[in-house]
């Protein structure tokens, strides 16, 4: 006799499947639960969690609302509903949801942090900072200290951000996790010696993989390369599928450290084969980065995740591939420096590219190249006026020479296109590939150029937008 399993057992099984990333099976379990127990929250809750993991925000919202219908005082559902509404860009509804949360649960941090998350999604960083400050005052939540410190450091407010971290350590004690976050922020601030000092103490009594990884990163940033190699040797490379991970995930950074170590041990050489993605930003550079990574090339996009600084000349010796503006603006120099390198020029329909750039920079207060030029030279109007990368000389050199020095986006695109064409017209054909990823070109063209087999995976179209809404 086929007797249905009880709710509790099915709920446990569903969550175990989520933990194993068997999301389709988990979804089936939770859908069955919601059909058999329509007055209980577990089925809807599980289905909502699966939908959030797969980015199906409308489905997540529908299920979180169902949870709240059958479980009125489910505060976690209310918070997650706001997150899903934020991700779906239903900002008015998300704001109302988080405001309701803060009114009903004024002593809980989730509502304040939810408001801060929403405000960052809409580029209102100063207001986000205020909500995190309120959360710290009202709840003293550890997560609110961490989120505020990271936000401040991201915008080069290093002293204030690190002061928030010190306040956390004073309040909650010197936990290893908090100390490792502080070292990460010290690295972002370029205070490498302070990071090394803190990590040396941590390493002496807690030589965890995380501590070793951060210690190696700090040593590389401080150019203490031999010590960095010794530490990297002690870090195991996790047996994890890296194809779906963010470039700054610890697994990916560990992978980058191993690549860095290999290049360092082989000796600094310009003869190594490299691949340089020299397309402008918003032409498929993120997709190209991921595609090259899938093909086995450790490829860095825009920022070196080890040192957490914009790609500069030193970095090009230590990895396989590189993409985005810090690469594109100096491709002639790289051609001369690395004689065995290949170059990939990512193209895009110019009207779509202009719309995409205008939309990208509009939240920062400009949408044209001339407004960008003014933005680089204007005095600071507030602590959240510019991202920290803007003060890095490579960042500024790249964006001024590629964009801000031209009257319009169209002029900038055509000037760079002509620059690439003129430079490579007398070079060997096998040195340059032109590829239009937004128009659907992918594995066949890329793999033929790189002389590698086509992988049995879909091409990674990242940040993909339809032409009509670029």
Note whether residue 263 is domain-resident.
yes
Asked if residue 214 and residue 296 are part of one domain, the reply reads no
Note whether residue 154 is domain-resident.
no
Asked if residue 446 and residue 352 are part of one domain, the reply reads yes
pTM of the predicted model as reported, rounded to 2 decimal places:
0.87
**pLDDT on residue 389:** 56
Asked if residue 321 and residue 298 are part of one domain, the reply reads yes
Structure tokens at 376: 């680089």
Q: How far apart are CA 53 and CA 58, in angstroms?
A: 12
> Of 87, 96, 145, which Cα lies nearest the Cα of 120?
87
Per-position pLDDT tens, the chain of length 470: 344 678 999 999 999 999 998 999 999 999 999 999 999 999 999 999 999 999 999 999 999 999 999 998 899 999 999 999 999 999 999 999 999 999 999 999 999 999 999 999 988 999 999 999 999 999 999 999 999 999 999 888 999 999 999 999 999 999 999 999 999 999 999 999 999 999 999 999 999 999 999 999 999 999 999 999 999 999 998 776 655 678 888 899 999 999 999 999 999 899 999 999 999 999 999 999 999 999 999 999 999 999 988 999 999 999 999 999 999 999 999 999 999 999 999 999 999 999 999 988 887 778 999 999 988 887 766 778 766 555 678 888 999 999 999 999 999 999 999 999 999 999 999 999 999 999 999 999 999 999 999 999 999 986 554 433 32
Q: What is the DSSP letter of 126?
A: H
Rounded alpha-carbon distances, angstroms, from residue 371 to 364, 365, 367, 377, 410 = 10, 8, 7, 10, 14
Q: Which domain holds residue 181?
A: 174-267
Provide the CATH number for the domain around residue 353. 3.40.50.300
Asked if residue 369 and residue 247 are part of one domain, the reply reads no
- HSE value, Cβ hemisphere, 13 Å, CA-based, for 124: 13
Q: Give the max Cα distance, the chain.
A: 77
Domain boundary among 210, 242, 267: 267
Domain boundary among 198, 233, 267: 267
Asked if residue 246 and residue 363 are part of one domain, the reply reads no
With the CA atoms of 120, 122, 125 and 131 taken in that order, what torsion angle do they form, in degrees rounded to the nearest 10?
-70
Asked if residue 283 and residue 249 are part of one domain, the reply reads no
Q: How far apart are CA 114 and CA 134, in angstroms?
A: 12
β-strand partners of 93? none
Buried-exposed string 26-61: b where 16+ CB fall within 10 A, e elsewhere: bbebbbebbeebeebbbbbbbbbbbbbeeebbebbb
Asked if residue 195 and residue 258 are part of one domain, the reply reads yes
**pLDDT on residue 364:** 76
Exposed, middle or buried: residue 102 (CB in 10 Å: 0-12, 13-18, 19+)?
buried
**pLDDT on residue 1:** 34
Parallel, antiparallel or unpaired: strands 303-304 and 321-323? unpaired
- Interhelix angle for 176-188 vs 142-154, to 10°? 10
Q: Is residue 211 a contact partner of residue 203, using CB atoms and an 8 Å limit?
A: yes
Note whether residue 160 is domain-resident.
no
Q: What is the DSSP letter of 346?
A: E
Q: How many domains are contained in the chain?
A: 2
Place of tokens 């010794």: 230
Note whether residue 408 is domain-resident.
yes
Note whether residue 12 is domain-resident.
no
Q: Is residue 145 a contact partner of residue 171, using CB atoms and an 8 Å limit?
A: yes
Asked if residue 277 and residue 339 are part of one domain, the reply reads yes
Asked if residue 279 and residue 249 are part of one domain, the reply reads no
Listed in sequence order, the residues at least 6 apart from 400 whose beta carbon sits closer than 8 Å to its beta carbon are: 373, 376
Asked if residue 424 and residue 284 are part of one domain, the reply reads yes
Note whether residue 119 is domain-resident.
no
Q: Is residue 135 a contact partner of residue 144, using CB atoms and an 8 Å limit?
A: yes
**pLDDT on residue 334:** 98
Note whether residue 63 is domain-resident.
no
Three-state DSSP class for residue 238: coil
Q: Is residue 48 a contact partner of residue 74, using CB atoms and an 8 Å limit?
A: no
Residue-wise pLDDT for 354-407, tens only, equals: 999 998 888 777 899 999 998 888 776 677 876 655 567 888 899 999 999 999
Asked if residue 217 and residue 178 are part of one domain, the reply reads yes
Asked if residue 357 and residue 212 are part of one domain, the reply reads no
Listed in sequence order, the residues at least 6 apart from 174 whose beta carbon sits closer than 8 Å to its beta carbon are: none
**pLDDT on residue 377:** 81
Exposed, middle or buried: residue 280 (CB in 10 Å: 0-12, 13-18, 19+)?
buried
Note whether residue 189 is domain-resident.
yes
**pLDDT on residue 392:** 76
Domain boundary among 267, 296, 319: 267
Handedness of CA 463, 384, 391, 212 (dihedral sign): negative
Provide the CATH number for the domain around residue 230. 1.25.40.10
> Of 146, 153, 93, 103, which Cα lies nearest the Cα of 125?
153
């Amino acid at each position: 006799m086929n007797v249905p399993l009880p709710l509790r057992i099915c709920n446990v099984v569903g969550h175990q499947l989520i933990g194993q990333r068997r999301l389709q099976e988990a979804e089936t379990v939770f859908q069955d639960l919601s059909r058999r127990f329509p007055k209980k929250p577990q089925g809807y809750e599980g289905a909502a969690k699966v939908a959030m993991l797969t980015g199906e925000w409308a489905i997540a919202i529908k299920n979180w609302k169902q949870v709240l219908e059958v479980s009125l005082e489910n505060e976690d559902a209310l918070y997650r509903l706001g997150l899903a509404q934020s991700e779906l860009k239903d900002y008015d509804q998300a704001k109302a949801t988080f405001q309701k949360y803060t009114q009903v649960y004024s002593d809980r941090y989730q509502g304040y942090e939810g408001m801060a998350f929403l405000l960052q999604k809409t580029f209102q960083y100063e207001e986000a900072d205020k909500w995190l400050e309120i959360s710290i005052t009202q709840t003293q939540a550890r997560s609110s200290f961490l989120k505020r410190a990271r936000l401040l450091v991201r915008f080069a407010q290093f002293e204030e951000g690190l002061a928030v971290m010190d306040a956390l350590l004073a309040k909650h004690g010197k936990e290893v996790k908090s100390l490792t976050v502080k070292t990460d922020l010290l690295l972002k601030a370029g205070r490498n010696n302070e990071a090394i000092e803190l990590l040396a103490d941590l390493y002496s009594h807690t030589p965890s993989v995380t501590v070793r990884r951060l210690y190696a990163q700090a040593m590389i940033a401080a150019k203490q390369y031999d010590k960095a190699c010794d530490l990297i040797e002690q870090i195991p490379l996790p047996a994890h599928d890296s194809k779906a991970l963010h470039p700054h995930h610890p697994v990916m950074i560990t992978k980058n450290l191993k690549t860095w170590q290999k290049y360092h041990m082989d000796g600094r050489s310009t003869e190594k084969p490299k691949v340089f993605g020299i397309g402008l930003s918003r032409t498929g550079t993120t997709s190209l980065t991921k595609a090259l990574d899938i093909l086995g090339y450790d490829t860095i996009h825009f920022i070196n995740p080890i040192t957490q600084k914009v790609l500069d000349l030193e970095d090009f010796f230590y990895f396989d591939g590189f993409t985005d503006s810090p690469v594109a603006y100096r491709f002639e120099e790289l051609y001369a420096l690395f004689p065995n390198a290949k170059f990939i020029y990512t193209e895009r329909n110019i009207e779509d590219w202009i719309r995409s750039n205008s939309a990208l920079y509009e939240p920062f207060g400009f949408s044209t190249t001339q407004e960008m030029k003014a933005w680089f030279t204007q005095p600071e109007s507030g602590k959240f006026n510019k991202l920290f990368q803007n003060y890095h000389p490579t960042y500024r050199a790249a964006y001024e020479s590629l964009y801000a020095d031209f009257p319009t986006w169209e002029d900038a695109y055509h000037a760079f296109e002509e620059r690439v064409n003129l430079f490579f017209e007398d070079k060997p054909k096998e040195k340059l590939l032109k590829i239009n990823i937004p128009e659907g070109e992918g594995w066949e063209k890329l793999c033929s150029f790189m002389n590698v087999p086509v992988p049995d995976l879909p091409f990674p179209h990242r940040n993909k937008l339809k032409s009509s809404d670029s």
